[in-house]
Amino acid sequence: MTEQKLRISFIGTGVMGGPMAGHLVKAGHDLTVYNRTRTKADAWAAQYGGAAASTPAEAAKDADVVLSCVGNDDDLAQVTLGRDGAFAAMRKGALFIDHTTVSARIARQLSVEAESLGLLALDAPVSGGEAGAQNGTLSIMCGGSAQAFAAAEPVMAAYAARMVHIGGPGAGQTTKMVNQIAIAGVLQGLSEAVRFAQASDLDTDKVFEAISGGAAASWQMLNRWGTMAKDEFDFGFAVDWMRKDLGLALEEARINGATLPVASLVDQFYADVQKAGGGRRDTSSLVTRLPK
């Protein structure tokens, strides 16, 4: 049981949001959830014992904390600022935490809107995938005021293993872009390495044993080398979502002047995977565009 029982609203009970909200119930908080597909919210409430609301505003009314984990910028704007959005219903002093991966622009906009309403706001995209959400071991990159982060940290501790306050509004989202840029490059290199080993008629299991303890090791190698070699790609974070995230990074790079030649190239490689029907496969399916 948590030391302070809070009234919490969670908007978005999908693959990530559902388990995260569940951890908050287990931590002893009172939860009300909203999902635009009402049956999903009702199913969550039946499983975890919380309540389901019909609108974001209904969910957010009287809440101490409102969290969101939705799809994209437009979805986030709708559930916060749109008709029946959460912001207009939130009481002054309440905390808003957004776990969606979106543009830094909307994160900064919501911070300004929140401040005008007397709310605290934190952009807090996550890394760790579906397994991290289910196991409560997510890594969270946070942007916003020190006050907002201090208020959010004990709440997020229910489902996170690491929480880092990066800087002001939007800093969490730009850090998530850094994360996805790094992953894209690693997965392309890993894809080429797997196919090279196969073309050389090497035992890929023995190759993994030989190189996974050295400088070539990465999370992707340790968790995806074997499945990539077997053409197994049902492990969570989808190509469609990776393309969305890389698109955000490339858009931000046009604003800040950064040069992202590898990320841009890998984004196009992922477009090839989508065109071949692999949009819902996980990101390690990048290897499928390379012939065996």
* Catalytic (active-site) positions: 176
Residues 215 and 231: their CA atoms lie apart, in Å, by 25
Q: State the SS3 of the chain.
A: CCCCCCEEEEECCCCCHHHHHHHHHHCCCEEEEECCCHHHHHHHHHHHCCEECCCHHHHHCCCCEEEECCCCHHHHHHHHHCCCCCHHHCCCCCEEEECCCCCHHHHHHHHHHHHHCCCEEEECCEECHHHHHHHCCEEEEEEECHHHHHHHHHHHCCCEEEEEEEECCCHHHHHHHHHHHHHHHHHHHHHHHHHHHHHCCCCHHHHHHHHCCCCCCCHHHHHHHHHHHCCCCCCCCEHHHHHHHHHHHHHHHHHHCCCCHHHHHHHHHHHHHHHCCCCCCEHHHHHHHCCC
